[in-house]
Amino acid sequence: MTAGRAERIKAALQQADELLRRGQPREAEALARRLVVENPLSPQAQFMLGITIQSQGRFEQAEPHFARAVTLDGRNVSYLLNYGLCLLSMGRVEEAAVQYGAARRAAPSNVEAVWRNGSFLARIGHMEQALAAFSKALERAPEGMKHPIRLEVLDCLLSLGRIDEAREHIARFIGVTPFHARYLCLLSSIGKHDADSEMFARITQELARPGVSPVDRSDLMVRQGVMLQQSRRFDEAFARFTEGKKLLRAPSVTAAFRQEVDARIAAFGRGKLAELAARHGRSDCRPIFVVGLPRSGTTLAAQIISAHSKAGNAGELETMTYVAAKLGGGRPLAELDAALAALGEQGIAKLAALYQGSMRHVVPGKELAVDKMPLNFRFIGEAAILFPHARFVNCTRHPADTFISALQTEMNAAHSYSYDPADYAAYHAQYRRLMAHWHEALPGRVLDLPYERLVSEPEAAIAGLLDYLGLPMEEACLHPERNAGAVTTFSRLQVRSGINTSSVARWKPYERHLGPILASR
């Protein structure tokens, strides 16, 4: 490559990077695409194109560019780490592990490689290993890099239920971290604080500080709402919750979800689904899918099941989302037969093996893996085709309680349906319609697990759950709070307090705000 061409590539890369920093990913992508066309053998150009696409959440389209960059320069740590992140974002855990491992081998003393390997381990729930990696990275990291690593350490401690250590960590670093708002939100989630507390005043002070991002501002306002709730100032709390969510400016996803439900019911009819499962279901994998709308008790159910000696909790991975998309081959669901024919039995078997490999990597040595991604309820049809021995636990709860619980957690824009009562009522109605269809299409394969019964009659409910799963009763399942496994969901503190009824009917003080939800039951 001539010196002149190298300089032009460098200038273009800097321009694309600047566009990304200014929040113009589409413009950055267009520039990177031109650069790749002109310089197809440039690993830097391929990498930058992958970065610009990945920044927009289009991981499958970004993947070939990261793969090409790694092929052209297999010892570049940044290429390997970002390729691993791309694969992990699609739930392809085994393949991601290969790239993270390659990054460590390429540069054993590279601090970022050690750090990002810790991030990977934390994402798949291997928290103790992640903490060891973070500790090693912190020994050599420059001061600016230490701040985000410490934030990940804090998340690990909370996920493991190590509350005292988390408090000590916050006290030590909250005064110096640039993630002050996030630290404050996490600190306020430990213990109970009301609207007259010092914590409320600290959050009010943080909100008055200039430069707080919309996401941090939204999270802080939600935390204030929780404290107003603790003071029984429910109308003010509800206003604070909804005001905070408005800052996220998220478009509604309910209309698109309704169309998806229509398509799924049409594509996976009772006779049709049974026929497809009989024709293509060859895997002996026995995944347990714990599904339902967020805040419906999925974390508690997963902790109960994974407390059993034969089961492990794989957490919330995107693996089934990816596998379902590949099974459909990018075609409309109405063309599912054609998509399956194009894949062939070998292609279908590879997808089942990819899923099974990811689960085994996350929960090694366990006979059964609990896939706790709640929104996998959408993909029960695809899962039933691939895995004839799969079981589906559908966690249900009063919709007003799931709404109120979702409203007071930091749910991101992918869950924008949970920001408004009318939107939530419409989304919940479509969820119920799809679940009714799965019950009809897969008789006996889906178990509804009502949250209210689980917490009020735990022994009977858990016995029924384990019987459905073909597992003998074990005492550990009655005490999910003792489950040492990491919990990475919003319920990670609540689930450590044991099974109780304190979260039943929490919607009642907000009744006058919840008309659309209550009317839709």
How many Cβ atoms are within 10 Å of 412's Cβ, its own excluded? 10
CB atoms within 10 A of CB 181: 22
Are the beta carbons of 493 and 192 closer than 8 angstroms? no
How high is the pLDDT of residue 490?
A: 65
Stated as kind and residue range, the H or E segment containing 207 is helix 198-207
Q: Exposed/middle/buried for 472, CB within 10 Å: 0-12, 13-18, 19+?
A: exposed
Q: For position 496, what pLDDT does the model report?
A: 77
The pLDDT score that the predictor gives to residue 495 is 75
Q: What is the pLDDT of residues 124-179, one digit of tens each?
A: 999 999 999 999 999 999 999 999 999 999 999 999 999 999 999 999 999 999 99
Reduced to 3 states (helix: H, G, I; strand: E, B; else coil), residue 447 is strand
pLDDT band at 243 (very low <50, low <70, confident <90, very high): very high
Taking the CB of residue 364, how many other CB atoms lie within 10 A of it? 10
* Phi, then psi, of 92 in degrees rounded to 5: -90, 75
- The tens digit of pLDDT for each residue in 29-73 reads 999 999 999 999 999 999 999 999 999 999 999 999 999 999 999
User: Given this model, what pLDDT does residue 411 score?
Assistant: 84
- Out of 146-160, 240-254, 479-493, least confident range: 479-493
Residue 369: phi and psi, rounded to 5, are -115, 135
pLDDT in tens, 389-426: 999 999 999 999 999 999 999 888 889 999 999 999 99
The Cα 114–Cα 117 span in angstroms is 5
The pLDDT of residue 250? 80
Over the stretch 81-98, which tens digit does the pLDDT of each residue have? 999 999 999 999 999 999
pLDDT at residue 3, as a whole number: 67
Q: CA dihedral defined by 98, 99, 103, 108, rounded to 10 degrees?
A: -20
Residues 6+ apart with CB under 8 A from 41: 72
User: pTM, whole model, 2 decimals?
Assistant: 0.94
Q: Which two tokens stand for residue 292?
A: 């339902």
Please state, in angstroms and rounded to a whole number, the distance separating the CA atoms of residues 80 and 69: 9
